[in-house]
A and B are shown apart, each in its own frame.
Chain A
């Protein structure tokens, strides 16, 4: 099963247009963000029809996409009070690095959160364990048909398996490259670095000088370093699993992996294993890295504190079989053990609505999977606008196999070895395939 992220047109609904007209910019400052959000909240709140029949307490759990996650979620919850005034929503977070442990513990307790934001890396596991409520009947409600149609079909495919619909797709997260245009121009490679892997390596070498690194990508398992490796794999026409998910699908990714090994062996990167996610980004902000693999939420940091150089977002150079971008997707699910599924469903409908999810996506710099609001988002944020319009159609996600997290975390130590120069690209893929076949074979 191959999952492609492709927008299908730019149908803009009434609510989407309303939101875009009242959403002047991505929140450049906290004050602006609050004012804009308050304005939206008023416009959304006054238009809602309150449902007095719903009552009780529900809990939502989600990984944070921003340091202001609780504040942004509270805006959504406050607006929900107009929709269901008798429902109280408690919001809590899990941390990304230990999300599986924390969510599993919640399910094992028999009292998990009612509404769960789950990413494609882990939710297949919970679907297999039947910990999630089958929402087929809920999403098929004729009254919600318009909303359902606004969400891209590929996203519904992600949330559908084993003859059930296990959540409402809401967000996408793209892994982009940040470039320091000044450094690339000074090295004379600004127009060529993205032509091929060889040009990328050449640019990294030419921009490396003193304490400036030409290239940096994450290297550690704990930092989900595989996200920065996967676009090169996909560009080679390979994937983690084969077509029927019965074994390794990495054949053909040797040369792409060798490219990353070469980069790490060329003396143009920080020492392998020495940095996590934030440290290289801090170096980038200080003008010390020319080409950096990162994530779109980091764009907010660059906008809030503009660096003293020109920067842009980019994707990895094309490979043998194409030029893809790595992306994750998040769905909102209801726990099977929830005792207030009606209220949970009402809150998910509210959260996934165009104005709410659109505002949140702009606040945290993430992508949406609703096609009706895509065109109006990020109007004053060229980087995010570029990602939404140029990158998102090229996004290729992971295969949502129940053991995909185990696959990724088990094979990554092999890549770490390779980045240190102890394995060739082909040897790396061979060892990874042994591990993958042992897990899913």
Chain B
């Protein structure tokens, strides 16, 4: 029996290893298409971009090795700091604002008894708008002379507000446009998170006398932590790459007040034809995103403990 058992155990280990190997091979085969895209469209371009940071030219003229010159220029250029600051300030305005509004909308949708599907469709419309269309629409809303919002403001104050032309207002205005565009997406995400919560806990809390506010803060919010965790990280990564609405609405102005990191990368690469400098800026942006994401991950995980 013992000998038989030993043979069986060895056979079992062999079979187990064989099964694991087969399973890994199958997994790798399924992952292969994605791996090809990951290597071809992410890893290799990133390595190529890093190589570019030590070179000049490469688009119109041959690539030339310049050592750390691009990195020196990056840290010496005051506009780099301005763009990083603008990007972070924008994110600090846009992310909390869109999360707060999206949660209110999600709660309203969850509570609504009628027209929920219609409301969900309507709230998602802005997210579907191409940036150019959205920018044109907002121009007709915000313009100091003929903007609809300014017509209303003039009735009360007599003076129009130069939303996109005032350095103090331009970045918050861009954030407002982005919040408007992203509200539908985040509202539906939060709504899905709320809908997935177990209803028994809320029923029990209600029976214990907890009001809606207490139920939300003591039960719903803690239970939605995984959703928030994903949302904060995702929103940070997306918002730190703000480009299109800046490009269309202000082109970085006025006085570089809306110049963001990605906008400066684009300008360096294409307008000024400085691929090495642009590549270095892109790497700095990646570093900022990584650091901020890491900090958020640590803080959010720490909060969970």
Contacts and interface: CB of A to CB of B under 8 A. Distances in A.
Interface residues of B, number: 29
A129 B270 contact: no
A126 B60 contact: yes
B273 A416 contact: no
A100 B162 contact: no
Nearest to A130: B61
A381 interface: no
A268 to B, nearest CB: 16
Majority-rule SS of B interface residues: loop
A221 B250 CA distance: 9
Nearest to A412: B253
A273 B250 CA distance: 10
A305 interface: no
Interface stretch (A18-26, A104-112, A343-351, A364-372): A104-112
Contacts, number: 88
B61 A129 contact: yes
A130 B60 contact: yes
A129 B272 CA distance: 12
Interface string B57-72: 1011100000000000
B144 A271 contact: yes
A271 B164 CA distance: 11
Interface stretch (A44-52, A195-203, A257-265, A403-411): A403-411
Interface string A230-255: 00000000000000000000000000
Given A100-B270, A273-B164, A273-B166, A107 B253 contact: no
Instruction: Say whether chain A's binding surface is mostly helix, strand, loop, or mixed.
Output: helix
A406 B274 CA distance: 10
A410 B277 CA distance: 15
A107 B59 contact: yes
Nearest to B259: A413
Contact of A108 (B59, B251, B256, B271): B59
Q: Which of A107, A126, A274, A420 has the most CB of B within 10 A?
A: A274
B272 A403 contact: yes
B145 interface: yes
B82 to A, nearest CB: 9
B184 interface: no
Interface in A380-434: 403, 405-406, 409-410, 413-414, 416-417, 420
Contacts of A221: 251-253
B273 A125 contact: yes
Interface residues of A, number: 36
Interface string A111-133: 00000000000000110111100
Interface in B37-64: 57, 59-61
Contacts of A219: 254
A104 B59 contact: yes
A222 interface: yes
Given A104-B59, A107-B59, A108-B59, A273 B253 contact: yes
Given A108-B60, A130-B60, A221-B251, A413 B256 contact: yes
Nearest to A127: B60
A271 B251 contact: no
Contacts of A303: none
Contacts of A273: 162, 164-166, 253-254
A57 interface: no
Closest 6 CB pairs of A and B: A273-B165, A129-B60, A101-B270, A222-B251, A273-B254, A274-B165
Given A274-B144, A438-B77, 16 more contacts: A104-B59, A107-B60, A108-B59, A129-B60, A220-B254, A222-B253, A271-B162, A272-B254, A273-B164, A273-B166, A273-B253, A274-B143, A274-B162, A274-B165, A279-B145, A406-B271
19 contacts: A100-B271, A101-B271, A128-B60, A129-B60, A131-B60, A219-B254, A220-B253, A220-B254, A221-B253, A222-B250, A271-B162, A271-B165, A274-B165, A275-B145, A279-B145, A405-B272, A417-B167, A420-B167, A438-B77
Interface of A: 97-98, 100-101, 104-105, 107-108, 125-126, 128-131, 219-222, 270-275, 279, 403, 405-406, 409-410, 413-414, 416-417, 420, 438
